């Protein structure tokens, strides 16, 4: 082949390689660390409006949450109206102009998330995306949407049970295909959109979600602002650590910090453990009316840094004794985070817990930082720890021995 004829080929190969490298790095930057932000469901549920989203975005900036890393402002269910003759889905009167809302949120340096599902109806019985996946994904991209939570709900009844009655394995294949379809549709828009799977952990979602573009996936049913709900979900995360990593995360559901009747200790423990789990940190409280002590929890930079550690290694439960559990997370550069929790409701300081450093792979006295008091401290073998019910000691050891 003459050189002049082969030149275009060389150019094509060069551009193809450049494109591939670019798109690979774009893929890597979506959710390289667990997504942080806020979602409307846990506090507003079906009542959420355009104004609530704008007020929450304003408050994320004013409260310092944005500076602490909270970027996504996510509209959950109940923004949808009906489809027109062309199949185009319209917003309902609570959200008069989604493009204008996206522009507003972006003008604050934040990103906007939205919600749908693969069935005919969403969980709150609004219009779903079945049969309109590409059209909906394109509409989200046109609006400037940066994050999609895709919730199974009626797909179970509409498609899985109808098309494969009494065949659970076939039902699960239909479910996986539905998530793959939206994953492809989002990718085809060319816009980086975080893809959040919400199907409650069915069929070991952590095994197959990353391959179809999932950046996070719910591992359980819905969280509630009660200690037992939070602890139950936490317990179900043990054993899932190896499935999380940059770009793809286990999602133990959105935060309830500041909601319901959780005590300060419970709020602190919930937030600490979601950080240990490398969980997405999506606050779910009433931001404009947030109490200072709740803001202090959500914006604790040291705890957020554990969640956002670039290694992306989720914590595992090292051991438990009585009602005390000890979880460990490996951090970048060989550092470690250790959480010691009194998960019981009736064991108090009259029975101090004694820390066994060897069970954590540590040898002798360790210099550590207590991430809730901000004070430097020493962890010694067999030291007595007195933790109030549902409270936590969370420390970072910069140079473990």
Q: Which of residues 212-241 bind ligand GLA (CB under 6 A)?
A: 222
Q: Could you tell me which residues come within 8 angstroms of residue 208 by beta carbon, excluding any fewer than 6 positions away?
A: 176
Q: How far apart are CA 41 and CA 79, in angstroms?
A: 12
CA-wise closest residue to 71 among 29, 106, 19: 106
Q: Cβ 318 to ligand GLA, closest distance in Å? A: 30
CA-wise closest residue to 29 among 241, 139, 191: 191
**CB of 41 or CB of 372, closer to ligand GLA:** 41
Residue identified by tokens 């969280």 is 223
Q: Cβ 225 to ligand GLA, closest distance in Å? A: 13
- Helix or strand (DSSP H, E) at 92: none
State which residue has the least CB distance to ligand GLA. 123
Phi/psi at 216 (nearest 5 deg)? Answer: -160, 155
Q: Could you tell me which residues come within 8 angstroms of residue 391 by beta carbon, excluding any fewer than 6 positions away?
A: 265, 268, 269, 341, 342
Choose, from 151, 286, 307, 330, the residue flagged as catalytic: 151
On whether the CB atoms of residues 225 and 259 are closer than 8 A, the answer is: yes
Q: Cβ 175 to ligand GLA, closest distance in Å? A: 15
Q: How far apart are CA 73 and CA 57, in angstroms?
A: 7
Query: Does position 256 bind ligand GLA by CB under 6 A?
Result: no
Q: Which two tokens stand for residue 115?
A: 């919600």
Q: Which x/- pattern over 194-213 shows residues binding ligand GLA (rule: CB under 6 A)?
A: ----x---------------
Q: Cβ 50 to ligand GLA, closest distance in Å? A: 18
Q: Cβ 76 to ligand GLA, closest distance in Å? A: 5
On whether the CB atoms of residues 397 and 370 are closer than 8 A, the answer is: no
Within 253-395, where are the H helices?
A: 264-276, 292-298, 301-307
Q: Which of residues 348-367 bind ligand GLA (CB under 6 A)?
A: none
Choose, from 58, 81, 203, 222, the residue flagged as catalytic: 222
DSSP reduced 3-state for 219: coil
**CB of 123 or CB of 341, closer to ligand GLA:** 123
**CB of 130 or CB of 198, closer to ligand GLA:** 198
The count of residues interacting with ligand GLA (CB under 6 A) is: 9
* Residues constituting the chain: 401
Q: Cβ 123 to ligand GLA, closest distance in Å? A: 3
Q: How far apart are CA 302 and CA 319, in angstroms?
A: 24
**CB of 222 or CB of 370, closer to ligand GLA:** 222
Q: Cβ 62 to ligand GLA, closest distance in Å? A: 26
Query: Does position 76 bind ligand GLA by CB under 6 A?
Result: yes
**Alpha carbon 393 to chain centroid, angstroms:** 23
Q: Cβ 382 to ligand GLA, closest distance in Å? A: 43
**CB of 217 or CB of 271, closer to ligand GLA:** 217
Clarify whether 253 is annotated catalytic: no
Q: Which two tokens stand for residue 285?
A: 């409280």
Give the CA count within 13 Å in the CB-facing half-sphere of 62: 11
Query: Does position 151 bind ligand GLA by CB under 6 A?
Result: yes
**CB of 78 or CB of 300, closer to ligand GLA:** 78
Among 41, 143, 217, 372, binds ligand GLA (CB under 6 A): 41
User: How many Cβ atoms sit within 10 Å of the Cβ of residue 163?
Assistant: 11
**CB of 198 or CB of 343, closer to ligand GLA:** 198
Among 77, 127, 133, 307, binds ligand GLA (CB under 6 A): 77
CA-wise closest residue to 308 among 10, 35, 12, 22: 35
**342, β-bridge pairs:** 324
**CB of 280 or CB of 312, closer to ligand GLA:** 280
Q: Which of residues 111-150 bind ligand GLA (CB under 6 A)?
A: 122-124
Clarify whether 382 is annotated catalytic: no
Dmax (CA) for the chain in angstroms is 87
Which residues bind to ligand GLA, rule: CB under 6 A?
Answer: 41, 76-77, 122-124, 151, 198, 222
**Catalytic residues, which ones?**
151, 222
């Amino acid at each position: 082949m003459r050189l002049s004829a082969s030149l275009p080929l060389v150019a094509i190969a060069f551009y193809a390689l450049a494109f591939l490298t670019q798109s690979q790095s774009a893929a890597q930057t979506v959710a390289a660390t667990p997504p942080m932000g806020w979602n409307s469901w846990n506090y507003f549920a079906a009542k959420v409006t355009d104004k609530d989203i704008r007020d929450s975005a304003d408050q994320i900036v004013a409260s310092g949450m944005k500076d602490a890393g909270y970027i996504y402002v996510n509209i959950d269910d109940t923004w949808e109206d009906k489809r027109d003759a062309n199949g185009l889905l319209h917003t309902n009167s609570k959200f008069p102009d989604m493009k204008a809302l996206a522009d507003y949120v972006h003008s604050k340096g934040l990103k906007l998330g939205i919600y749908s599902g693969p069935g005919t109806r969403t969980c709150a019985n609004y219009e779903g995306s079945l049969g309109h996946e590409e059209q909906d994904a394109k509409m989200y991209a046109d609006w400037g949407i940066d994050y999609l939570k895709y919730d199974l709900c009626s797909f179970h009844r509409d498609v899985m049970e109808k098309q494969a009655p009494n065949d659970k394995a076939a039902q699960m294949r239909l479910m996986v295909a539905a998530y793959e379809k939206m994953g492809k549709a989002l990718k085809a828009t060319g816009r980086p959109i975080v893809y959040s799977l919400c199907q409650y952990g069915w069929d070991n979602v952590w095994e197959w979600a990353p391959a179809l573009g999932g950046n996070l996936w719910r591992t359980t049913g819905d969280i509630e602002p009660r200690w037992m709900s939070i602890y139950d979900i936490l317990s179900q995360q043990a054993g899932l650590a190896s499935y999380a990593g940059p770009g793809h995360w286990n999602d133990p559901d959105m935060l309830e910090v500041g909601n319901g009747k959780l005590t300060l200790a419970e709020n602190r423990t919930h937030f600490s453990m979601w950080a240990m789990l490398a969980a997405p940190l999506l606050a779910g409280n009433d931001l404009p009316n947030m109490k200072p002590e709740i803001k202090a929890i959500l914006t604790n930079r040291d705890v957020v840094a554990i969640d956002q550690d670039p290694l992306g290694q989720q914590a595992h439960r090292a051991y438990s004794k009585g009602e005390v559990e000890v979880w460990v997370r490996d951090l970048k550069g060989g550092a470690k985070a250790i959480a010691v929790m009194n998960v019981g409701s009736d064991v108090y300081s009259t029975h101090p817990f004694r820390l066994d450093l060897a069970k954590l792979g540590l040898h002798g006295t360790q210099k550590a930082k207590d991430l809730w008091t901000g004070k430097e401290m020493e962890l010694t073998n067999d030291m007595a720890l007195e933790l109030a019910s549902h409270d936590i000691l969370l420390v970072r050891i910069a140079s473990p021995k």
